[in-house]
Structure 1
Amino acid sequence: MKLKSKNTSGSNQEHALLSPSSAKKWLNCPAALACEFGLPNESGQAAVNGTVMHLVAETVLNRVIKGEDIRADTYKGVYALNEGKGPIKALVKPEKGAVLITDDFVSQVNKYVDYCRPIIDAAELVEVESRVNLTRVLHPGVMVPFEDPRTGGKGESPLQTFGTADLVALLPRADGSHMLIVGDLKTGRHKVLAKENKQMMLYALGLLHKLKRLYDITAVRLVIFQPYAGGADEWDTTPEALELFGKFASKAALKAIDAFERGKKGLKPADFRPGNDACQWCRFAEKCNAKRKSASAETESDLSDDSTEMTLDQLKAEWDKLPLMRQHIADIEKAMYAVLMRGEQVEGLKLVEGRPGNRSWDNAEDVGDLVSQWGIEDLMTKQVMLTPTEAEKVMKGHDKWDLLQVRITRKPGQPSIATADDKRPAWTPVSDEDLA
Structure 2
Amino acid sequence: MPHAKYSPSAAKIWMSCPGMPSLMDQVEYKVGMPAAVGTLIHSMTEMLLKERLENVTLEQYWLGKTECVEDFEIEVDKDMIQCAEVYVEYVQKRKEELNAKILVEERVSMEEISPYVWGTADAILIGKNEIEIIDLKSGKFPVDVEHNPQLLIYSLGALSRYGDESTTVTMTIVQPRTWHKDGPIRSYSMSAANLVEWGYETLKQATDACDEENPQFNPSDTNCRWCNAREVCDAYKTFKGEK
Same fold, TM-score > 0.5, yes or no: yes
Q: Which residue pairs with 1:109 in the alignment?
A: 84
Q: Which of 25, 46, 50 in structure 1 is aligned with 2:38? A: 50
State the alpha-carbon separation in 1 of the partners of residues 157 and 131 from structure 2: 12
Q: Which residue pairs with 1:228 in the alignment?
A: 177
Can you list the C-alpha shifts for 1:253-290, whole angstroms capped at 9, x where unaligned?
1321334xxxxxxx36xx12234543232234366454
Report whether the alignment pairs 1:73 with 2:73: no
State the alpha-carbon separation in 2 of the partners of residues 127 and 258 from structure 1: 35
Report whether the alignment pairs 1:167 with 2:123: yes
Q: Which of 224, 228, 233 in structure 2 is aligned with 1:279? A: 224
Pairwise CA RMSD: 3.1
Q: Which of 162, 165, 168 in structure 2 is aligned with 1:219? A: 168
Task: Give aligned-pair identity as a percent.
Answer: 24
Q: Which residue pairs with 1:22 in the alignment?
A: 10
Instruction: Summarize the alignment of residues 21-420 of structure 1 with structure 2, pairs less than 5 Å apart.
Output: 21-63=9-51, 71-77=57-63, 79=65, 83=69, 99-122=74-97, 123-136=99-112, 138-139=113-114, 159=115, 161-172=117-128, 178-212=129-163, 217-230=166-179, 231-247=184-200, 248-259=202-213, 267=214, 271-285=216-230, 288-291=233-236
Q: Give the TM-score taking structure 2 as reference length.
A: 0.83
Q: Give the TM-score taking structure 1 as reference length.
A: 0.48
The one-letter code of the counterpart of 1:279 is C
Asked if structure 2 preserves the Cα contact closer than 8 Å seen for 1:28 and 1:277, the reply is no
Give the length in aligned residue pairs: 237
State the alpha-carbon separation in 1 of the partners of residues 85 and 198 from structure 2: 34
Q: Which residue pairs with 1:144 in the alignment?
A: none
Structure 2, unmatched stretches of 5+, are none
Rate the CA distance shift 1:218–1:80 in 2: closer, same or farther, 3 A: farther
Can you list the C-alpha shifts for 1:389-419, whole angstroms capped at 9, x where unaligned?
xxxxxxxxxxxxxxxxxxxxxxxxxxxxxxx
Greater C-alpha Rg: 1
Rate the CA distance shift 1:258–1:168 in 2: closer, same or farther, 3 A: same
Choose between structure 1 and 2: higher strand proportion: 2
Can you list the C-alpha shifts for 1:305-334, whole angstroms capped at 9, x where unaligned?
xxxxxxxxxxxxxxxxxxxxxxxx6xxxxx
1:199 deviates by 0.4
State the alpha-carbon separation in 2 of the partners of residues 223 and 50 from structure 1: 17
Question: What SS does the corresponding residue of 1:43 show, helix, strand or coil?
Answer: coil
Asked if structure 2 preserves the Cα contact closer than 8 Å seen for 1:180 and 1:217, the reply is no
The one-letter code of the counterpart of 2:207 is A
Can you list the C-alpha shifts for 1:105-153, whole angstroms capped at 9, x where unaligned?
21221111222221121232221111112222x31xxxxxxxxxxxxxx
Structure 1, unmatched stretches of 5+, are 1-10, 85-95, 140-158, 173-177, 260-266, 298-328, 330-436
The one-letter code of the counterpart of 1:184 is D
1:168 deviates by 0.8
1:162 deviates by 2.4
State the alpha-carbon separation in 1 of the partners of residues 60 and 95 from structure 2: 20
More contact order relative to length (CA 8 Å, sep ≥ 6):
2
Can you list the C-alpha shifts for 1:237-259, whole angstroms capped at 9, x where unaligned?
22112112112212211321334
